Amino acid sequence: MTADGPPPDAELRPRTPTRRPKTARGRVEPTYDPPSAEERRAMERHLASLPLHSGARVTGDAELEMLLVRGEMSVPGLDYGAAVRWPEVSEARVALFEARVRADGSWPSLLVADDIAPRGLTELLASLGWSESGRETVLWTRRPVVVPHLDPMLRLEAVTTRSAAEHESLERRIFGLPASTAAGRTAGLVASLAAGTLRAYLVRSRGEPVAVCRLSLLEGLAGLYGIGVVVDRRREGLGGFITAVAMRAGLASGRPLAWLSVEDGNDAALGLYEALGFQPAFRWGRWLASPR
């Protein structure tokens, strides 16, 4: 170094070229095992049990060998059988289920998961005049993603029993649910929050509620559902933001995987969830008995 100026360039450069050590390795992304057979069955049971958080009753029926879901009268569409565990399918088993459900004043309906339900069940139902009403795909992940940074004016809130009514109201606004379901849905939400089987999140933008998501903690898993954004704030990344928050919270709670379900044809949602690392686990459909 000279006394009257900066050191020459040669003194600032290393004497030998810097080389990457031979032992250095590139970053390897961790791999995650796909869901086991038992985890897939747990996801099926968890999916079927989500109406618990809206005030429904879910019971295991030993005679019918399935779960029976019975909803509040004010919340339609929550009556069905699921997680069928028949050793083999038969018309007699279907007839027994139909008779039981019709006697209760409900329309016979079954949630049937591909590759988990007894072999031949969907074919038998179709032959008996049942029809499938919509299909969805359950997606899973074990990898927590980084929560994206969005508008600094956004505020994330964990829903409490005191704020449950506001959350439920925003859900009805987003999903177009009738006002007549409010009381039953709010009661179920409050009970689940108090029991610790459910967490719920709400995003505000400049004070206005704009997005919601529920995190169900049943069956030892983390189930995400009720993910929605108000119409005039969609395509701003809010859905991905709140999904990432809930997914990270579920995995941080010690659950081995997080899952969610997306309707066929909802390509925007499917693309979003795949970008967050979710992968297909199984497909399922809801089957309805024919009118008498």
Give the side-chain half-sphere CA count within 13 A for 255: 31
Separation CA 39–CA 28 (nearest Å): 26
Q: For residue 21, what pLDDT is reported? A: 55
Give the max Cα distance, the chain: 103
Separation CA 101–CA 262 (nearest Å): 28
DSSP state at residue 181: G
Q: For residue 240, what pLDDT is reported? A: 95
Which are the contacts of 288, defined by CB distance < 8 A and separation ≥ 6?
107, 108, 109, 130, 131, 132, 133
Q: Which of 7-16, 55-64, 225-234 has the lowest mean pLDDT?
A: 7-16
Q: For residue 103, what pLDDT is reported? A: 92
pLDDT digits 0-9 by tens, 276-288: 999 999 999 999 9
Give the side-chain half-sphere CA count within 13 A for 152: 0
Question: Cα separations (Å) of 179 from 71, 163, 173, 232?
Answer: 16, 18, 9, 21
Element (H, E) at 226: strand 222-229
Q: For residue 25, what pLDDT is reported? A: 55
Domain ranges of the chain: 37-137, 154-281
Of 41, 60, 27, 43, give the one whose Cα is nearest residue 250. Answer: 43
Separation CA 22–CA 215 (nearest Å): 46
Q: For residue 10, what pLDDT is reported? A: 42
Give the side-chain half-sphere CA count within 13 A for 190: 12
pLDDT digits 0-9 by tens, 248-269: 999 999 999 999 999 999 999 9
The CATH code of the domain at 154-281 is 3.40.630.30
pLDDT digits 0-9 by tens, 81-121: 999 999 999 999 999 999 999 998 899 999 999 999 999 99
Element (H, E) at 225: strand 222-229
pLDDT digits 0-9 by tens, 10-60: 443 444 444 555 555 555 566 789 999 999 999 999 999 999 999 999 999
Read off the tokens for 64.
Answer: 């019918």
Tokens 């659950």 belong to residue: 255
Separation CA 246–CA 238 (nearest Å): 12
Q: For residue 153, what pLDDT is reported? A: 86
Pairing of strands 222-229, 258-263: parallel
Judge whether 48 and 64 are in contact, CB under 8 Å.
no
Of 103, 148, 106, 109, give the one whose Cα is nearest residue 248. Answer: 148
Element (H, E) at 202: strand 198-205
Separation CA 113–CA 120 (nearest Å): 12
Helix (H, G, I), strand (E, B), or coil: what is residue 259?
strand
pLDDT digits 0-9 by tens, 154-195: 999 999 999 999 999 999 999 999 999 999 999 999 999 999
